[in-house]
Amino acid sequence: MTDPLGPAELAAMSDLIPPMALRAAATLRLADLLTAGPLDLETLADKAGADSDALGRLMRYLVARRIFAQEETGYTLGESGHWLLDDAPGGLRRWLDLDGFGGHMDRAFIELLGTVKAGGPVAAGNKTSLEPKAAASYDELMEIRAVQEAPLLAKALDWSRFEHVVDVGGGTGAQLVGLLEAHPHLRGTLVDLPISAPAAPERFQTGGLAERTEVLAGDLFELELPSADVFVFRYLLHSFEDDAAADALRRAADKRRAGGAVLVIESAETAPVAFASMDLLMLVLGHGRERTLAEYDVLAQAAGLTRAAIHQPAIGPRVLEYS
């Protein structure tokens, strides 16, 4: 049993200064502005479009936290500041950018108290309800994860038994590209909303995959899914409440060919804090919930499916295979 948190630890948990200072730095792209060399305060403020006095006070804090450094010639990147570069692995800056989808998620938590009292947010924050810029940012952030995880998914199970894969909610196609590049025998269909799917054909064309792919743009619950060997739901079902999630699985099960599978890729039963944090995010966004392995099995059973295997990539969420 771990020791209980004391008042000092609770106060540290409640401190909003570090996360908001980091988000301000990320949104102003301060790290990228400092990559060419030291900048004095006035120059940095001018390039960032910020007030020099206010920015100086922000930089004082970020220097004290060793995100940036201050020399005689001006401000420079600290070692930790490199993670705020736009092209840093993992895309942390883009997740922290208050003008993107990350900012949309952060602001949703401001209404957590009202959401808990009411049982849900005043307005849902799913992709269909986002402003175009935030929706584009959402797809961009999902692409970062897909590019990192698709090669691992391609190795996590035996894909030789499948010919046609349907990536349900596949965004702009990054995951499908990774699968098809790793397995030349596969052909794929991407299914997603009209605000995301139209970007996929260009990605497929660039990757030389146009002849092995097709795109189906529309609402999953209104579309006629194609018959296929395997359907992939990656980070999608947690965006739905139970009835909708079971319906999504049922639609795939109905189109699954003999010997085929439905793959559910979710962070089921991760570390308790991570699981609870993501579940709160689903609550404030108002369109889903995190689930345990047993709860996904129940949803699958309602769709006429039974868990056949669990595949664990070297890194990333496990793959629940249902048939």
Phi first, then psi: give them for residue 118, nearest 5 degrees.
Answer: -90, -20
Mean pLDDT value across residues 135-149: 81
3-class SS of residue 318: coil
| Most confidently predicted of 58-62, 121-125, 239-243 | 58-62
- Cα separation, 99 vs 321, whole angstroms: 37
Q: Which CATH number fits domain 7-88: 3.40.50.2300, 1.20.950.20, 1.10.3720.10, 1.10.10.10?
A: 1.10.10.10
All CATH 3.40.50.150 domain ranges in the chain, comma separated:
140-322
Tens of pLDDT, residues 200-233:
999 999 999 999 999 999 999 999 999 999 999 9
**CATH for the stretch 140-322:** 3.40.50.150
Mean pLDDT value across residues 188-200: 91
All CATH 1.10.10.10 domain ranges in the chain, comma separated:
7-88
Query: Is residue 68 within 8 Å of residue 30, measured between CB atoms?
Result: yes
In this predicted model, which residue has the larger pLDDT, 139 or 60? 60
Side chain identity, residue 57: R
Tens of pLDDT, residues 11-45:
888 899 999 999 999 999 999 999 999 999 999 99
Residue 125 scores a pLDDT above 60: no
Spatial neighbors of 159 by CB under 8 A, at least 6 apart, are: 165, 179, 182, 183, 186, 230
Residue 298 scores a pLDDT above 60: yes
- Cα separation, 65 vs 80, whole angstroms: 9
Element (H, E) at 205: helix 200-206
Ranges 37-41, 122-126, 165-169: which has the least confidence: 122-126
Residue 8 scores a pLDDT above 80: yes
Mean pLDDT value across residues 298-316: 93
Tens of pLDDT, residues 228-253:
999 999 999 999 999 999 999 999 99
Mean pLDDT value across residues 274-279: 90
Return the residue matching tokens 């309800």.
129
Query: Is residue 125 within 8 Å of residue 284, measured between CB atoms?
Result: yes
Active site residues: 238
Q: Could you tell me the pTM of the whole model? A: 0.86
For helices 242-255 and 293-302, give the axis angle rounded to 10 degrees: 60
